Each structure stands twice: as C-alpha cells, then as structure tokens.
Amino acid sequence: MPPMARTFDLVLFGATGFTGRLVAEYLANHAPAEVRIALAGRNTQKLEGVRAGLPERARNWPLVVADAADSASLEKLAAQATVVCTTVGPYAKYGLPLVEACAKAGTHYCDLTGETQFMRDSIDRYHQTATASGARIVHTCGFDSIPSDLGVLTLHEALGPLARATFVVEILKGGFSGGTIASALHGLDEGKANRARRRLMADPYALSPNPSREPKLGDERDLASFRFDDFVGQWIAPFVMASVNTRVVRRSNALLDYAWGKQLRYAEVTGMKKGPAAAVKAAVFTAGLGAFLGSLLFGPTRKLVESRLPRPGEGPDEQTRKSGFLRVRVFGESESGARKTVLIEGKGDPGYQLTAVLLGESALCLALDEAKLPKRFGVLTPATAMGAVLRDRLVAHGMTFKLQ
C-alpha cells in the first residue's frame, strides 16, 4: 500500500482542461473537507484561474506544476500523492510516463481512457511494478467502463457464474467530449499506420492477463450490423464503445480467476425495442454509424467531420450537460439458466457531467476507502480494484444499479 506520509490524498492532473475543470468542481462540492486535494497542470496561471472559479472551500487548494512530457516532474508529483487522478489525453500519446511514475512510487492512479492500445502497453510495462509497489493503476473510470464493469459484477453477485451477459444502451442523451474524440481519432490513426496495433484493437481478449487461459467461444467480434436478439427481446444495433468496454469486462473476469463465468459470453449493443419501426431505426442507426466511422478514415471527409466535432478542451454549456441522461440494462443468464437484469441510470451528460461523478468518486474511493478495498494491486479495472465499494459511492451520489 502507498505510504501514509504523503503530502496530498488526491492530486487532480489536467485540472485546466474542460473535463478536468468539471472533476475539480465535483471534488470541491463533494469531497469531505478533510481530504487534502491539489490541482496539477503545466501552467500556474491557468491553474490559479481554475481554482478561483471553484467554491470557497477549494480556494486554498495547493497547485502543483507538472508536465506530461517531463518525467522528473511526474515522479515528484506521484511521490507527493496517495492518488493521482488524470484527465490528460490522448493517453496513448501522453499517459505512460505518469503510469510509470505512479507504479514505481506505489501511488494509486485513475483515468478516463478508452484506448485499448494504451491499456495494453500499461499492462505489459507496469503491471508487475505496480503489483510489487502496492499501486492500483485503474484505467477506464468514466462512462467507459464503470457501468459495464459494475453492471456485470452486480449480475454475478445475484446469479453466480454467468453463461452470458449483454449490455444494452437504452438512452444516451448527451455527447462525447473533445478529449474522448481526440483519443478515438488517435486510435484510428495508430490502427491505420500499424498492423499489429490494428490487430490488437480487434482482439476480443486484447487486455487479457494470460491469453492462453481464455475460453474458446467462437466468434466474439462486436456487433457490426443490426438484428433482432432473442436474449434481450428487441432489435439491436452496434454500440460504438463496445470495442473498449467488452475488453475491460473480460480482463476483470480473468483477474478474478473467471469467477464471473469461465464460459461467459459478453456483448454490448444499442437497443431499439420491438416492432417494425424499431427494425427500421436499427438499420438507419447502423448505416449512420458506419458512414460516420468511414468518414473518419478518409482524409477529405475526416477534415470536414472534425471541423464539426468538439476539440479537446471544448464542451457544452452547463444546462446542456445537466440535461443529459443515461439508461442501460445489462441482461444476464447464469450457468444454470436463471436470468436477471440490472438497470443502470445516471443523470447528466455521460461524456461530461456524469463522467465527472464517475471519475471523482473513483479517485475518492482509492484515496479514502483503503480498508474496504480488495487487496489487489497492479494494472486493474474498476470492478477488480474497487468493485462494490465504488458502486455504493455512486449510488449514494444519485446513480442507479437496480437488480430486476
């Protein structure tokens, strides 16, 4: 475990970015008063500006200057903190030096990445180091992949080992942040330029701790078309983040020695309900998503699309963020054939407002709940690092994980 003699309980790195400011505001409003929090980034003046805009209780938070390109500054940052929470992406471009610093210092770490290739590099390079130092390195602590990971955990608690589970997005009102879009574009570029990276991102077990132990379940590619699904009882279409979240859930299961089910088949889709109108909607949605992704792979159309998307550091106004909403159902079937669902709901734009809650509570969980957390270290997932302890925090702050 990290030594107790740290200057700060929690350092927020990237506090001057759009999402970083939202997380800083969340922490200022919800962290217990005794938690020692600092804001970190490259520019002192910008940090001062962010701090000045926070509630009064946060006006004296210390500022730490650190740069993602300066390893010495990151080592100093990690040495001062029990937890470093970072919003600095694309993580594949900027993130590994901070992971290294935290893994070596025994400092817990959480981020918002949805970049499979970055997580694979983090695992390969620093899992053993973090295990030895007592650091929990926890990626995907936002909309990707907390609902997925904790949803399957909740099903397992109710049903025991699972034969299958399907995560169905019912309502996703809101947008993706500029930082998320930049990370996705960086991943596309990596895949185009490097065949090995492309194969990695297509591998259903890309984040496996030991690929030789994974089950042979046949075709586990993410849904790319539309169809009626008997298991969930509705028309379904692709879900754009399935290629990240499914890998995270499979890593959780493997790290838990397949407690969730040795033959677990897991999928994530967008739900369209029943009837002829739903079938048409699923077809149109699939075609639109395919056209959008295709446009990002072709230079001229990509420039046009990028000009209409939010850039890193940009996002909607407060009213738009607060009006967003998330509703997901995770359908599960046990190895004995019993079935249940988990209803997951959250208020606020999933890419912004809700993400601030998810990441903020993840950081507080790592900082404050040591005695209740699993004694598990290394490069982990939300479920394996924090599990039900994090879920309880999220429910206490307005999210729903309701077993049905």
Q: Under CATH, domain 8-143+353-403 is a member of which superfamily?
A: NAD(P)-binding Rossmann-like Domain (3.40.50.720)
Q: Which residues contact 311 (CB under 8 A, 6 or more apart)?
A: 178, 181, 182
Q: Give the pLDDT of residue 178.
A: 66
pTM above 0.85, yes or no: yes
Specify the pLDDT at position 3.
45
Written as six digits, the tokens of 246 are 């499914």
Per-residue confidence (pLDDT) for residue 110, from 0 to 100: 98
CA distance 30 to 332: 33
Q: Decide if 116 contacts 95 (C-beta within 8 A).
A: no
| DSSP 3-state of 17 | coil
Query: Per residue in 349-370, pLDDT tens?
Result: 888 899 999 999 999 999 999 9
Tokens of 18: 């759009």
Question: What pLDDT shows up at residue 84?
Answer: 98
How many whole angstroms separate alpha carbon 202 and alpha carbon 270? Answer: 19
Q: For the chain, list residues with pLDDT below 50.
A: 1-3
Domain boundaries, the chain: 8-143+353-403, 146-347
Task: Say which residue the tokens 């899992």 belong to.
Answer: 127
pLDDT at residue 339, as a whole number = 98
pLDDT in tens, 304-338: 767 777 776 677 778 888 889 999 999 999 999 99
Distance of CA 164 to the CA centre of its chain: 22
How far is Cα 112 from Cα 145, in angstroms, rounded to an integer? 9
What stretches of 87-128 adopt beta strand conformation (E)?
A: 108-110
CA distances from 86 to 98, 102, 196, 278, 310 (A): 9, 11, 27, 40, 20
pLDDT at position 387, please?
98
- Best CA proximity match to 51, nearest among 108, 90, 43: 43
Residue 266 contacts residue 164 (beta carbons within 8 Å): yes
